[in-house]
């Protein structure tokens, strides 16, 4: 099975490299459309593995596959009092020298006649489009990949048809220990009612049921107490009666949380494979986007758990952040599992879709050196110019993103440390799909 693990890792790895390449194309295409000079398009970092020059742009692949970039000329404006075509003496302040060096490097590739091809001189909305192009490509890829799964393969949908009746009531702690029914365990309300496999639930407590979600909501909100269950058995309607009990169950909105004292019946639904429409893809994307945004808000807290798992031997949580190494390892587990081939393909596609969605969201954080930092600067420039236009004041200059370079360097150092921690944790204490 080891070759399957390697195959799954490689499939995910090349899918990830393609995603990174398309992310950079999302920046490259609008940059060229708006006339920005782009000197490099690279997938990866470090020494160059392969490259070829087409026109003014060098396209290539580098040896460290942990990202990518395009090099646009002139992302930073010169000082307002400077001539952009002349060098100046560097200031000697603690950060000023670094900032001025970055300014000069930003303009060193500007040739005579190319002054209007620098990024900082473009209109604010053009800069927003250029910098948003990468994350937008990730969102588009995620949507396409989820659409392939949901519309092409379909998903398992729970039906209000009984697949199995639980014989006894077992607590979550007993269930976690793998304990089965004993004579001391009480029967479930479903068993007491006489429910059987293949019974179709038509209504609960007088509420019509058309989906399993309807049944779950009615059972949970009803709580403990008597309930009438109308079913169809072998095509014939029947009414059964039982008393629901209260139990602590995993939340439907967040499985990591527990809902206290919700109603419990004790049946497992039947699942059927159904292909979904575009509307369902949009709904899934919206739901996952909200969940990803919430997860990013808890990112520092989750990193503490990663540190404890890496250096303290703590258990690694399933929703823990992971690096491309960890995600590739998950891809290997999916490929090596005993699931049917079709399920493995679906699993790998969903994994790549989820990573693209997370990549797009992470890059929108409004801090340099992420795309969101440049977007925030361009939006601030547009706001200032719009205000000046309304108040009939002189048009302000371009927003000087260079002033935020100290923060950008600090963020880059944090991202480097964070990436190293995640890779180390994914090697010594990885997330595992199976125990």
Q: pLDDT tens across 127-170, in order?
A: 999 999 999 999 999 999 999 999 999 888 889 999 999 888 87
Helices and strands (H, E) in the chain, number of each type? 12, 9
Report pLDDT for 87.
Answer: 45
d(CA 71, CA 32): 12
The Cα 103–Cα 94 span in angstroms is 16
Q: Is-contact 74 107, C-beta < 8 A?
A: yes
Band (43; pLDDT cuts 50, 70, 90): very high
The single residue of 24, 100, 333, 381 carrying the catalytic annotation is: 24
Q: Which residue has the higher pLDDT, 404 or 302?
A: 302
Between CA 171 and CA 169 the distance in angstroms is: 7
Q: What is the DSSP letter of 334?
A: H
- Cα–Cα distance list, 115 to 42, 73, 108, 266 (Å): 24, 10, 11, 72
- From the centroid of its chain, how far is CA 180? 37
Taken in order of first residue, the domains within the chain and their CATH numbers are: 1-37+73-154+276-435 (no CATH), 156-274 (2.30.42.10)
Q: What per-residue confidence (pLDDT) applies to 383?
A: 93
The reported pLDDT for the residue numbered 314 is: 81
Summarize pLDDT for 250-264 with one digit per residue, the tens.
777 776 678 888 888
Residue 24 bears catalytic tag: yes
Closest CA to 411 of 379, 380, 370, 361: 370
Integer-rounded Cα radius of gyration of the chain: 28
Nearest to 226 by CA among 215, 214, 241: 241
- 105-141 in b/e burial notation, b at 16+ Cβ within 10 A? ebbebbeeeeeebbbbbbebebbbbbbbbbbbbbbeb
Asked if 44 and 67 count as a contact pair (C-beta separation under 8 A), the reply is yes
DSSP 380-434: HHHHHHHHHHHTT-PPP----GGGGHHHHHHHHHHHHHHHHHHHHHHHHS---S-
Residue 40 has pLDDT above 70, yes or no: yes
pLDDT tens digits for range 193-226: 999 999 999 999 889 999 999 999 999 988 889 9
Cα 430 from chain centre:
19
Q: What angle do CA 303, 308, 309 make, to 5 degrees?
A: 95
pLDDT single digits (tens) 51-109: 999 999 999 999 988 889 999 988 877 776 555 455 444 455 556 666 767 677 767 77
Region label for 262, one of left (φ > 0), alpha (ψ between -120 and 50) or beta (otherwise): beta
Q: What is the pLDDT of residues 351-401, one digit of tens each?
A: 999 999 999 999 998 888 889 988 998 999 999 989 898 988 888 888 877
Determine the pLDDT at residue 90. Answer: 45
Cβ partners under 8 Å of residue 432, min gap 6: 316, 333
182, pLDDT greater than 60 = yes
pTM exceeds 0.75, yes or no: yes
Average pLDDT of every residue of the chain: 86
Eight-state DSSP code of residue 69: E
């Amino acid at each position: 099975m080891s070759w399957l693990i390697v195959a799954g890792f490689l499939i995910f790895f090349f899918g990830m490299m393609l995603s990174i390449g398309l992310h950079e194309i999302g920046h490259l295409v609008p940059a060229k459309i708006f006339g920005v000079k782009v000197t490099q398009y690279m997938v990866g970092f470090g020494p160059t593995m392969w490259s070829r020059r087409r026109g003014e742009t060098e396209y290539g692949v580098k040896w460290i596959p942990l990202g990518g970039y395009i090099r646009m000329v002139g992302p930073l404006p010169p000082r307002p009092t400077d001539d952009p075509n002349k060098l100046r003496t560097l200031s000697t302040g603690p950060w000023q020298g670094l900032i001025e060096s970055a300014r000069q490097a930003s303009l060193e590739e500007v040739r005579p006649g190319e002054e209007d091809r620098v990024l900082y001189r473009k209109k604010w909305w053009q800069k927003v489009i250029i910098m948003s192009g990468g994350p937008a490509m990730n969102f588009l890829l995620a949507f396409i990949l989820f659409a392939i799964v949901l519309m092409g393969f379909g998903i398992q949908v729970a039906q209000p048809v009984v697949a199995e009746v639980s014989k006894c009531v077992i607590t979550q702690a007993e269930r976690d220990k793998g304990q089965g029914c004993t004579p001391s365990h009480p029967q479930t309300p479903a068993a007491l009612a006489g429910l059987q496999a293949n019974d179709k639930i038509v209504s609960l407590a007088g509420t019509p049921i058309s989906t399993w979600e309807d049944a779950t909501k009615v059972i949970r909100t009803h709580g403990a107490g008597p309930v009438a269950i109308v079913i169809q058995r072998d095509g014939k309607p029947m009414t059964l009666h039982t008393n629901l009990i209260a139990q602590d169950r995993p939340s439907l909105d967040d499985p990591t949380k527990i809902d206290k004292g919700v109603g419990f019946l004790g049946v497992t639904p039947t699942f059927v494979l159904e292909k979904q429409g575009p509307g369902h893809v949009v709904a899934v994307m919206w739901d996952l986007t909200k969940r990803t945004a919430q997860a990013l808000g808890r990112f520092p807290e989750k990193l503490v758990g990663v540190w404890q798992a890496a250096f303290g031997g703590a258990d690694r949580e399933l929703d823990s952040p992971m690096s491309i190494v960890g995600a590739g390892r998950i891809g290997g587990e999916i490929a090596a599992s005993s699931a049917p081939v079709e399920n493995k393909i679906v699993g790998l596609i969903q994994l790549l879709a989820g990573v693209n969605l997370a990549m797009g969201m992470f890059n929108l954080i409004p801090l340099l050196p992420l795309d969101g930092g440049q977007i925030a600067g361009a939006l601030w420039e547009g706001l200032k110019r719009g205000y000046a236009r309304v108040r009939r004041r002189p048009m302000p200059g371009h927003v000087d993103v260079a002033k935020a370079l100290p923060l950008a360097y600090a963020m880059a150092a944090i991202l480097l440390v964070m990436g190293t921690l995640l890779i180390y944790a994914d090697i010594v204490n990885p997330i595992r799909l199976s125990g």
